[in-house]
Amino acid sequence: MEPLQLKQAFKNIFGAEPILVKSPGRINIIGEHTDYNGGLVMPAAINKAVYVAIAEREDNEIHLFSESYQEKHIGNIKDVKKSEKSWANYILGVVDGFLKRDFALTGFNLYIYGDVPLGAGLSSSAAIECATAYALAHIHQINIPKKDLALIAQKAEHEFSGVNCGIMDQFASVFGKEDYAMMLDCQTLEYEYIPLKLEGYKLLLFNTNVKHSLSDSAYNKRRSQCEQGVSWIKAYHPSVACLRDATEEMLLAYVKPKDDKVYSKCSYVVAEIDRVKKAASALKSGNLTKLGQLMFETHDGLSKAYEVSCKELDFLVDQVRALDEVLGARMMGGGFGGCTINIVEEEKIDQLISKISAAYLREFNLSPSAYVVETGNGSQAIATTVLTNITTL
Ligand code: GAF
């Protein structure tokens, strides 16, 4: 849907002139399950996004319409509560976040549309939250730092969707930059843009087209296992606030003797934070082979130690492991389904897609999807008119 079509769709339903805002989905080059441990991540925004058309109302009602679900939700700013519609909760959670920070909001009409594949681990939910946050700040002329938009969006995910996610997805959606990945320090929220120079290679995603149902509960469980590990270390090293501050030696001394499973989860995180640093150096020096090796290592850690992979993701990574045209591959995002991310020689992409798709179909009787991803920019308002208000002197 083009911006002008979105504007028209909004007018057809709500009969007013909207403002348009977009916020992208994300990929993650490396640094998985490190964000909620105060660690480093290296995401990039993509050129697929969620688009929001929004206009203020004169009363306190909230009228939402989702293009994807062809559903409406009606609520009230004075009584924001969870809906049974998950898409609406991402929006309502953000409204709640603004109100809890004492920003005065009026009622509004909002039409939402997106081309981020749903359930693919490309953070369509963060894109909805961030687009909503940006749009609400825009129409109410709320002067709020962009970091706070990401934080409000993250809180919406915690409180209205029940997933205790880290900050990576929302941060990438707000701050992404075309042609760059970003190395984000999730402890300080400082970040550095790193040029994504892949000369002759492209990033290819294979979508397993599965999402196993335990994903949300397992995500929250991993997070508490990491916190458990930190609390055992803290008894001896009070300054350790999160796994970012821990070392493998500490884990061996204070966590392994108590619980081997908790140890292997924490040990993966400590090693993964180190891999992000190495990956940043590899990317900066153009050493894509090294970056690819690190990605395979991340996959093995996520699959064997952190236990968030699944047979479909493992299959897709194993299929490309020995191929010269693939420098690296790994599962991406929370796990239990969604996509693998692969660095693939540009010339060989079509051939690879055919080969892997056929093998996956034979194995699971299901076709995977494949997307060659391009990077994009973070949250922004979209202009739909070129010339307005020409002033004469
Ligand atoms: C999901 C979460 F939303 C992120 O915060 C992050 O933890 C990721 O899983 C795993 O790295 O996308």
Choose which residue among 219, 222, 227, 265 to substitute to test ligand 1 binding: the one with the highest number of ligand atoms within 8 A of its C-beta.
Answer: 219
Q: State residue 214's pLDDT score.
A: 65
Q: State residue 385's pLDDT score.
A: 62
The full set of domains in the chain, from first to last, is 3-196+376-381 (3.30.230.10), 201-373 (3.30.70.890)
Which residue, judged by its Cα, is nearest atom 9 of ligand 1?
334
> Could you read off the pLDDT tens digit of each residue along the chain, which spans 393 residues?
888 899 999 999 999 999 999 999 999 999 999 999 999 999 999 999 999 999 999 999 999 999 999 999 999 999 999 999 999 999 999 999 999 999 999 999 999 999 999 889 999 999 999 999 999 999 999 999 999 999 999 999 999 999 999 999 999 999 999 999 999 999 999 999 999 999 999 999 999 999 887 667 899 999 999 999 999 999 999 999 999 999 999 999 999 999 999 999 999 999 999 999 999 999 999 999 999 999 999 999 999 999 999 999 999 999 999 999 999 999 999 999 999 999 999 999 999 999 999 999 999 999 999 999 999 999 999 987 644 433 333
Q: How far is the CA of 260 from the centre of ligand 1 (A)?
A: 24
Please tell me the distance from the alpha carbon of residue 134 to that of residue 113, in angstroms, as a whole number.
15
Choose which residue among 129, 165, 215, 269 to substitute to test ligand 1 binding: the one with the highest number of ligand atoms within 8 A of its C-beta.
Answer: 165
Task: Give the count of alpha carbons within 13 A of 223, CB side only.
Answer: 16
Which residue, judged by its Cα, is nearest atom 5 of ligand 1?
166
Choose which residue among 157, 158, 169 to substitute to test ligand 1 binding: the one with the highest number of ligand atoms within 8 A of its C-beta.
Answer: 169
Which residue, judged by its Cα, is nearest atom 3 of ligand 1?
165
Ligand 1 shell residues, CB under 6 Å: 32-33, 35-36, 123, 165-166, 168-169, 333-334
Q: State residue 383's pLDDT score.
A: 85
Which member of 169, 185, 274, 324 is catalytic? 169
Q: How far is the CA of 184 from the centre of ligand 1 (A)?
A: 13
Ligand 1 atom closest to Cα of 36?
Answer: 7
Q: How far is the CA of 165 from the centre of ligand 1 (A)?
A: 6
The ipTM is 0.99
Q: State residue 391's pLDDT score.
A: 35
Residue owning tokens 């076709």: 367
Q: Is 169 a catalytic residue?
A: yes
Q: State residue 216's pLDDT score.
A: 77
Q: How far is the CA of 104 from the centre of ligand 1 (A)?
A: 31
Q: State residue 387's pLDDT score.
A: 40
Q: How far is the CA of 335 from the centre of ligand 1 (A)?
A: 9
Q: State residue 119's pLDDT score.
A: 87
